[in-house]
Each structure stands twice: as structure tokens, then as C-alpha cells.
Amino acid sequence: MMKLAFFTPHFRLLYAFGIGLIISAITDIPTLAWLTCIAYIALLLFLYFNQQSIIPYVKRWLSLNVFTLLLWLTLSWQVSNSGIDFSPLGIHTALLITFRMNLIFCSFCLLLYDINDVRLVQAISQLPLPNKFIQLFILTVRYISLLAEENRRISIAMQARGFQAKCNWRTFEVLAQRVALLLVRALIKVEVVEMALRARGFKFQSQSSLLEKPWWKYVEIFTALFAIAWIIK
């Protein structure tokens, strides 16, 4: 039971955060390449033995690497006196970012497997974090899910009415109205959800007992100073 306790959702969040910090500190590209290959093999084996579909993960991988493709298109060349040349430093930076992003992607897929919005909110409330941060995180999670739901509904309604995106003023006008309608509807729903949560006695505060310890304030101060030193170094 003690071993299983260290794999609860809130501990897995801490592991994911720590692994993300470690990966961001690795600067050797061959090491990142090997770790990325191992992580992808581990993820594929994990999905195979758990009989899970690989298609959702492929879609997320494609969405992630569209951004890396844009990085390669912008960082791999430079303007010099002789014209446009390849940039070795830019290619090195693009490789570094690509391997880091893919390694973090695989690590998070393995560590945060089967964690949905509800379990994520419960896991955050188990961590010794400030109440304002927990409230902000919970509402952010709700915002993302509500925005995705409303966006799907609006897309279905636009397709049912025969809308086709083109490069003209009418398309820009419709898309602008879509964004405005999406934000207004999501804002109204978030307010309703927040009132419903408060009416049911839900408290936007941490359930961890560490916040009651007198020494925890020193941990918070040390963490803040360490974060500031990390940023300005």
C-alpha cells in the first residue's frame, strides 16, 4: 500500500514537474536523442500492454510537432552578407527544443495517464499550494474544457449551415464573430459553474496538512528565492 501511495495523482504531478525541470537542464543533444527514443518505446509498450488506442496520442504528437516545424523554419537559417545561409547555432537550438519537447511529451503521457479534468483538480487540491493558485488553476481547467466544448458546438453549427472558410472579408467577419461568441458563452458558463461549485460547498483551498506546519513558510520562501535565482542567472 505504501508503494501505491507514491503513485497517486498528486505525486505523479510532482514527478512530472521534477522530470520537466531535469529535462530542461539537459543540454547534450545525443543524450536527449537517446532518452527520447527510450521514452517513445516505453510509451508504445505501455499503450500496447494496456490495450489503448494510439490514435489520440498521434494527434497530440502531430499538434506538438507542428510547432517544432515552425521553429525549424525560422531558426535554421540566417541573413548574412552573402545572402541567406544555414545557421548552425539555430539548427542546434531547434534540435535542442525538439528533443526536449518530445521527451517531455512522452514523460507526461506516461505519468499523467488516465488523469482527466476531475482527477487533475483533485490532485492539485492535495498539493501544498496557495489557495489563490488552486482557485486559478481550477477555473483555468474549467475554462479550457468549456472553451473546447463550445468551440465544438459552434463548429458543428457552422458546418450544418454550409460555411466554408475562404480568403475573403466574409470569412474574416464570421471567424471574428465566432471568437466573440465563443468567449461570451464560455464566460457565462464559467460563472454558472463557479456559483454551482460554491453552492455545493466546494472550497478553493488546499487539503494538504503541510500548510499548517510552521516550517512550511520557510520552504515557500526558499522556493521563491530559488526560482528568482534560476530566472536571473
Look at residue 3 in the predicted model and tell me its pLDDT.
44
Look at residue 85 in the predicted model and tell me its pLDDT.
75
Q: How far apart are CA 188 and CA 153, in angstroms?
A: 15
For residues 214 and 143, the answer to whether their CB atoms sit within 8 Å is no
Look at residue 37 in the predicted model and tell me its pLDDT.
92
- Among 5, 3, 13, 7, which Cα is nearest to 127's? 13
Q: What is the pLDDT of residues 133-147, one digit of tens each?
A: 776 777 677 677 777
- Among 98, 74, 94, 78, which Cα is nearest to 86's? 78
- Between the CA of residue 12 and those of 5, 97, 114, what are the distances in Å? 10, 24, 11
pTM of the prediction?
0.65
Look at residue 102 in the predicted model and tell me its pLDDT.
92
Look at residue 47 in the predicted model and tell me its pLDDT.
86
Q: Residue 113 CA to chain centroid, in angstroms?
A: 13
Look at residue 34 in the predicted model and tell me its pLDDT.
93
Q: What is the pLDDT of residues 93-124, one digit of tens each?
A: 889 999 999 999 998 888 888 777 677 777 77
Task: Using CB atoms within 10 Å of the CB of residue 98, give its burial: 0 to 12 exposed, 13 to 18 middle, 19+ buried.
Answer: buried
Q: How far apart are CA 58 and CA 106, in angstroms?
A: 11
Look at residue 38 in the predicted model and tell me its pLDDT.
92
Look at residue 229 in the predicted model and tell me its pLDDT.
63
Q: How far apart are CA 12 and CA 121, in angstroms?
A: 13
Q: How many CA atoms lie within 13 Å of 121's alpha carbon, on the beta-carbon side?
A: 18
Please list the ranges in the chain whose pLDDT falls under 70: 1-7, 83, 117, 128, 131-132, 135, 139, 142, 186, 190, 193-194, 197-198, 200-233
- Among 194, 193, 146, which Cα is nearest to 154's? 146
DSSP for 181-225, written as a single string: HHHHHHHHHHHHHHHHHHHTT---S---GGGGSTTHHHHHHHHHH
Look at residue 183 in the predicted model and tell me its pLDDT.
72
